[in-house]
Amino acid sequence: METSRQLRWIAAAFAAIFVLVLVLPPVAAEEDAEFAGVTLSASPKVQGIGGVVLLTVSANFYGGCCYSLHAYDVVPNITHPAGLEMLSGPSPPRMDKFEATQGGLLTSAYFYYSFKTLKEGKYAVNITISTRNCGAKTASIKIEYIKGAIISEPRLLFPATPTQDSRSVISVVIFSGLEGVTVKSAEIEYALLDPGTDTGALRADDGGVLQPGNVRGRAIVLSRDPENSTLWRVSVPPTGRAGQLAVWFAALDSTGNTTISPVTFFRVADTAGVYGAVGAVPFVVSGLMLLGILVIGIWHSRAARALEPQPGPSLAIPGQSRPFDEEEEAPRRSKALLAASAVGVAAALVVSLWAVSQGLLDLMRSMTGGL
């Protein structure tokens, strides 16, 4: 009796411990986050003299798989040439405690700077992120300032995903960063490259020709916005085939200097049919489903009429007055039609998923500029 009472107490204690383990959150000691490194990005990376460059610094830390880890006293330190003026930064100046969230994923602490200069050239910027408990990491980036107009990265206004049959409306900001100097005219040059072309090394030379490859583009004069003198727009004609649309800009300022911008690439989808299919898919699926339901309903109705008592030889089964094989035939046909309709709807859904996936894939590729 005493033994059974002790066993019950032990079982109750284990049950209480189990409940506490399930209910209470995990408690972990403050541990150091893993410092993965520092990444730098400049926008734009090539700027006209007098223009502002924004620098984003990300210090990357890994958290634990089941709980957060921390970095303390995260402080950025920057070195840059004397000719490059730092307008602002770092923002924020420091982080006393940074939490790398659980899940084992990368979590980034961000710091921001802005620069400008009135001298052309390439400027090396070095950033060191130091911490009290996770060590320090360093990264470098080069910012280039050129003489002439300031040309922003172009934006594709329409359509969201260019196709071989659509016009592409593009806008770009172009102005001079020098006092008393204005942009007199600007034009876009474009060329369609084959799918899969390696675009990493392509640059437009002083004559506006893509190198390597000596690819000369077609030129269209840009229109200046009447309400915003720095905003320019252009409509590029349909390309007629799939590929990568390379665009770059040439701006002539009032001093007679011509500035050539970096090259930007947009993916051109092979056909608008994919997007037409995506738009038509819901209607096709709905139509097939309605057709299947209608056919099944008609055959069920016929089967119900066939099962009504009719004059004829009886099989001596109560409530039955027609041949037994005809009684089974109607449900069998109904089941067969039901199966056929289900196969049709499943096929339509498969086609729908394929079309939607192709459309979304084209959209994502166009947004990232890849193929």
Tokens of 239: 């390309």
Return the structure tokens found at 37.
């490194």
Mean pLDDT for the stretch of residues 160-181: 85
Tokens representing residue 159 in the block: 């359509």
pLDDT tier for residue 29 given thresholds of 50, 70 and 90: very low
CATH of 34-146, one of 2.60.40.10, 2.60.40.1110, 3.90.180.10, 3.40.228.10: 2.60.40.10
Residue 16 vs residue 136, higher pLDDT: 136
- Cα separation, 32 vs 61, in Å, equals 10
Nearest to 248 by CA among 313, 172, 161: 172
Bridge partners (DSSP) listed for residue 70: 32, 99
CA–CA separation, 105 and 220 (whole Å): 47
Higher pLDDT, 370 or 189: 189
Q: For the segment 185-213, what is each residue's pLDDT rounded down to a tens digit?
A: 999 999 999 887 877 778 887 677 888 77
Confidence category of residue 304, pLDDT binned at 50, 70, 90: low
Q: Which residue(s) pair with 174 in the sheet?
A: 151
Per-residue pLDDT band for 170 (boundaries 50, 70, 90) equals: very high
- Beta carbons of 349 and 285 less than 8 angstroms apart: yes
pLDDT at 52: 81
Residues facing 158 on adjacent strands: 169
Averaged pLDDT for residues 22-45:
73
Rounded Cα–Cα distance for residues 75 and 90 (Å): 9
With contact defined as beta carbons under 8 Å apart, do 343 and 308 qualify?
no
3-state secondary structure of 199: coil
Point out which residues pair with 78 in neighbouring strands: 127
Mean pLDDT value of segment 287-299: 67
Full 3-state SS string of 131-166: CCCCCEEEEEEEEEEECCEEECCCEEEECCCCECCC
User: 331 pLDDT exceeds 70?
Assistant: no
Q: Is 310 a residue whose pLDDT tops 90?
A: no
Cβ–Cβ under 8 Å, residues 204 and 190: no
Query: In the chain, what percentage of residues exceed pLDDT 90?
Result: 32
Residues 6+ apart with CB under 8 A from 69: 31, 32, 33, 34, 61, 62, 63, 99, 100
Which residues are paired to 253 by β-bridges? 183
- Whether the per-residue pLDDT at 136 is higher than 90: the answer is yes
Mean pLDDT, the chain, integer: 77
Between CA 230 and CA 256 the distance in angstroms is 18
Residue 39 has pLDDT above 50, yes or no: yes
- Residue 58's CB is within 10 A of a number of other CB atoms, namely 17
- With both helix axes pointing from N to C terminus, report the angle between 324-368 and 273-306 in degrees, rounded to the nearest 10: 170
How far is 239 from 163, CA to CA, in rounded Å?
Answer: 8
What's the rounded Cα separation, in Å, for the pair 326 and 317? 14
pLDDT at 34 over 80: yes
Using alpha carbons, select from 107, 137, 146, 123 the residue that is nearest to residue 258.
146
Give the pLDDT score at 258: 83
| CATH architecture observed for domain 149-268 | Sandwich (2.60)
